[in-house]
Structure 1
Amino acid sequence: MKQKIVIQVEMTCDKCRSKAMSLVAATGGVDSVALAGDAKDQVVVVGDGVDSVKLTSALRKKVGPSQLLQVADAGKKKEEEKKPVITATAAVVPSYYQYYQQPANVVYEYPATGYPYGYGYQSRPDNTCTIM
């Protein structure tokens, strides 16, 4: 079943548009890619077996802020297009929340006991220097 996916991507220049279109075209299962919208900020993808969520997150990583606007069946007739289409909208998350990670907890373990100077380093008892 072919799907028509519409993704809004923040693209300010021709280089960004080219990058977005090449990224989408390289995805498996994509049949056609087109730009839509007044500001050419929407990417229309038609394909079979395309994961829309993974495609949107890849565009976020490589191009810029993107939002999934619509996922619909591409094999519709004109009469069926007049019916309302179910659209999926994603919540916009500010970019500073996406990249924040919790610091890792580090536990320091002391060396095994039984060695006089730590990690098995044995020196002569009359020598007080542990470096040499």
Structure 2
Amino acid sequence: MQQKIEMKIQMGCRNGQRKAMVIAAEKDGIDSIAVDGDKLVVTGVGVDLVKLVKSLRKKIGCTQIVAVSEVKKDKKEKPPTIPYPYSYSYSHLPPMYVMYDAPAPDHPCSIM
């Protein structure tokens, strides 16, 4: 089950945003990280929320969990695929010509 976690973090500048993203990226199970104003949005499968918040509070400061929700994927039906018949390819070689040698007139009693 993929989760979307929104946390409100007091970030003073871009350096704080970078630190928060680096700390979140080190945790297991995280697929994507985004910063939206003063919110850090993390999505992933099997994210340990307690460890993530503890490490953010330790390194950055005040961290509050705003929302934890499940990410639902849209089930789009693919159009049915039509199997195309295989085309057998034949080798297109030039025709083979057969040649016969006419026997030479080697008669032992030839006068001419």
Normalising by structure 1, what TM-score? 0.54
Provide the rounded CA distance (Å) in 1 between the counterparts of 2:63 and 2:30: 18
Q: Does 2:60 align with 1:63? A: yes
Indicate the RMSD between aligned Cα atoms, in angstroms.
Answer: 1.1
Q: Does 2:40 align with 1:15? A: no
Provide the rounded CA distance (Å) in 2 between the counterparts of 1:55 and 1:72: 16
> How far off its partner does 1:51 sit?
1.4
In the other structure, the counterpart of 1:27 is 27
| Rg larger in structure | 2
Normalising by structure 2, what TM-score? 0.63
In the other structure, the counterpart of 1:41 is 38
SS of residue in 1 equivalent to 2:52 = helix
Provide the rounded CA distance (Å) in 2 between the counterparts of 1:75 and 1:55: 23
Q: Which amino acid letter does the alignment assign opposite residue 20 of structure 2?
A: A
Name the one with the larger strand percent. Answer: 2
Runs of 4+ aligned residues of structure 1 deviating over 6 Å after TM superposition are: none
RCO comparison, higher one (Cα < 8 Å, 6+): 2
Provide the rounded CA distance (Å) in 2 between the counterparts of 1:8 and 1:76: 25
> How far off its partner does 1:4 sit?
0.2
Q: Which amino acid letter does the alignment assign opposite residue 24 of structure 1?
A: A
> How far off its partner does 1:76 sit?
5.2
> How far off its partner does 1:53 sit?
2.1
Q: Deviations over 1:71-122 (max 9, x none)?
A: 1001255xxxxxxxxxxxxxxxxxxxxxxxxxxxxxxxxxxxxxxxxxxxxx
SS of residue in 2 equivalent to 1:69 = strand
In the other structure, the counterpart of 2:94 is none
Task: Name stretches of at least 5 consecutive residues in structure 1 with no aligned partner.
Answer: 78-132
Equivalences for residues 1-132 of structure 1 within 5 A: 1-36=1-36, 40-75=37-72
> How high is the sequence identity, in percent, across the aligned residues?
43
